[in-house]
Structure 1
Amino acid sequence: MSCTVMFPHDGDILNVYDGQIREERLVINVSISAPDGRQLLVNGAEARREGEYYYGEAALDGYANTITVTDRETGYTDSRVVYWLKNAVNKYRIAVDDNIWFLKDIVDNRHQYRSIFDNPYLGMFKDIHDKYGTKVQFNLYYQTEGFNLTQMPDTYKEEWKANAHWLRLTFHALQNDPPRPYEHAEPEEVLRDCKLVTGEIVRFAGEEVLEPATTIHYGAATREGCRALRQFGFRGLAGYFRFADGRPIVSYYLNDEQTAHLNGRDFWKDHSEDLIFIKIDAVLDGLKKNDIIRELDRVKANPGEAGFIELLIHEQYYYPHYTAYQPDYWEKLETAARWATENGYSPAFLSECIGE
């Protein structure tokens, strides 16, 4: 029977919560399942048996780090690459999916609105930013009934750019319906829609507001579709990475094992596609306001999830005309931002965290 490395997984993205800092290096415990009596090495140093597993220390001293486990008796080796994200600890952001209606309102009121923040929805997020410093990413549709992004004027472009330090825009989908539009779509369709949205964002708001991470509508896409997004320039995709009826949901193309692993992590990198996946920690419109703090406390208590807090909400729940309107939308946002601030989390975009 060969040995099996239990932690870390190949592609794991680690931080101080996974180990401890010694002499400016992150030292983690590598855990290995193997029969008694084996002589195992972790990066050349002997592993020790403690209870069910063998353990050996590995010191990470840069962004990418190779960990090699060797069985002296059988000659078996297992090498994997893991990452140390130094800038992703005690950080958070808010992402907003399904956005299009606030842009239509800006167009409808372009002769009255002197500022994009005259739109009440966008103004609400600015209030959150002004109070807590929160950074917010809006993932956009290209079109909705009677409106598409080509109708957005570029007259507010300088204002968008001036607020790019806390406000970002990026691709989400062509439109709201049908559900899971890219679950079986050809990569050409994904890329076409991405280019439509991105091109219009650059035209009316500037390249400064773009962000190289997003959530695809319903978090469902083929490997080939995700590869097309990576080739376009996206480095990260956020999702739920959980199961419903025994199947992964909002997990892109990841298999059961990968989904289950990522469910308890902040990030994980699929080396085969050079893509980083980001676990969404709390969907605010899916929680009662009084449950938000309890859920975020639970996330913080898990070392694998505590480094970066990814918060998500959807645009439509803000509006009284929507069938599932949530009148406490503002309070949910404010509760989450306040919790993050009081618990020592600083606002950050993913682009500021997931690189070297």
Structure 2
Amino acid sequence: MPLRSYAGPDKTIVKIIGGQRSAVAGQKRITMNINFLSPLEGDVFHAFDGHLMDGKLQIAVQIAASTDAEIAVNGAPATWRGDHFEAEVILDAYANTLRAENLKTGESAEVRVFLLQDFAGHYRLSIDDNIWFLRDIQQNRYASLFENPYLGFLKEINVGFGTKIHLNLFYQTDGFNLSDFTDQYKAEWKANADWLRLSFHAYQEFPDMPYVNAGYDEVKRDCDLIMGEIRRFAGAEVMHSVTTIHWGEATVEGSRAMRDAGYVGQVGYFNVDDHLPSASYYLTADQRRHLKKRFVWHDTAEDITFVRASIVIDTKKLEDIRPHLDAHGQNGHKPPYLDLLVHEQYFYPFYFNYQPDFRDKIRTAVQWAKDNGYTPQFLTESISHS
């Protein structure tokens, strides 16, 4: 008989056994012939899920229960739809508890779901593996940060499209680390913090997947190291609550360390049922399948919001970027938040995998965002509920 488990809203371990749900808390065991089919624990809703008006969103709730049950969800009566019960409920807060009850037996089930008021319809450009541009600035001591060709190009993108750009940093590369970087540009970093942000990525590029088995202390150490240097040379103004760990792989303890450092939003690919890199942190295959369709999910046990990147620009040919982004909507999974991800290395002619059309690829992706009605906004503001 199939068995799976997950953390319930109160972190009780909940198991699904042969289609029935049982909760084990201490010595008590309660069997419930009632279960949420949709939404699932941790689902995040937004304007693309319906008509969001005055901070309220109506959603359909689907419940599995015996045909002779009398089901209500948050007091609203549910109707039998042939293979499940369905009720309409209103979400009107960031965190919402949905309680389904069989009024005949008193059996009940609960899930927590979330409503983000300003998530859908925005985009950013997110760049991983950044370190070489800082080494160049340190070596050349330009009059302005934006005399560096890489940052100069990103400034052009911001000026031309209003794009918000987020750079995830390594601590070190050959012959250079962040502690070497001057703080002489601190005022300029702060002056541009409205469109340019910096965050932790990893200690260095190699080995691959450095945190796939790492514990809390290792991730927290590297995270704090990089954040401390960013604060020193650029200021807290460029530091916010979202990052992408190198290779998108971490243990639950590693993700918890990033959360405790302030990174409550964590971005990855969440690939599953294919041969692509997983980049899914600690999530299970079932959670990844769900997130791959929804693009966002909140782990209620860990208080972390995961967001799926919509494209990895440098893995696509220039002519394939627009079709790739078009395909999301054609498959019925239009990204609510469009995260355009790329990697720094491909900008440089000296890199063995240099992409001469790096600039054109980014312009194409950003132009697609504009053409399809997405507006620039950092992910931190988009997942904020304050």
Same fold (TM over 0.5): yes
- Are 1:19 and 1:29, in contact at CA under 8 Å, matched by a contact in 2? no
Matched, 1:91 2:122: yes
Residue in structure 2 matched with residue 324 of structure 1 by the alignment: 353
Return 5+ residue gaps in structure 1 as ranges: none
Q: Does 1:105 align with 2:105?
A: no
Q: CA 1:95/1:347 → structure 2, altered by over 3 Å: closer, same or farther?
A: same
Count of aligned pairs between the two proteins: 354
User: In 1, Cα distance between the equivalents of 2:375 and 2:276?
Assistant: 34
Q: Is contact 2:46–2:52 with CA below 8 Å preserved after alignment?
A: no
Q: CA deviation at 1:43?
A: 1.4
1:164 match: 193
Indicate conservation of the 8 Å contact 1:32/1:53, yes or no.
Answer: yes
* Cα distance in structure 1, aligned partners of 2:148 and 2:319: 28
Q: Which runs of 5+ in 2 are unaligned?
A: 1-19, 21-32
Distance 1:216 1:60, change over 3 A: same
TM-score, length-scaled by structure 1? 0.94
SS in structure 2 opposite 1:66? strand
2:54 & 2:219 partners in 1: Cα distance? 46
Secondary structure of the structure 2 residue equivalent to 1:257:
helix
Once the two structures are superposed, the pairs formed by residues 151-230 of structure 1 within 5 Å of their partners are 151-230=180-259
Aligned ranges 1:247-266 → 2 under 5 Å: 249-266=278-295
SS of equivalent residue, structure 1 residue 184: coil
Letter in 2 for 1:277: F
| Residue in structure 1 matched with residue 178 of structure 2 by the alignment | 149
RMSD between aligned alpha carbons?
1.8
Query: TM-score, normalized by length of structure 2?
Result: 0.87
Q: Deviations over 1:118-150 (max 9, x none)?
A: 111111111111010000000000000011011
Q: Does 1:61 align with 2:92?
A: yes
Matched residue of 2:294: which SS?
Answer: coil
Q: Which residue of 2 aligns with 1:239?
A: 268
Offset, 1:204:
0.9
Deviating more after overlay: 148-157 vs 239-248 = 239-248
Q: Which amino acid aligns with 2:91?
A: L
> Which letter maps to 1:201?
I
Greater shift in the superposed pair: 41-50 or 139-148: 41-50
> Among residues 116, 130, 135, which one is paired with 2:145 in the alignment?
116
Tell me which residue corresponds to 2:312.
283
Supply the AA of the counterpart residue of 2:77.
Answer: E
- 1:273-306 Cα distance to aligned partner (Å, 9 max, x none): 1111111111111112212112222324566653
| 8 Å contact kept, 1:18–1:304 | no
What residue number does 1:335 align with?
364
Identity in percent: 46
1:222, 1:131 → 2: CA distance?
Answer: 39
Compared with structure 1, are the counterparts of its residues 22 and 187 closer, same or farther at alpha carbon in structure 2 (3 Å cutoff)?
A: closer
Structure 1 SS opposite 2:52: strand
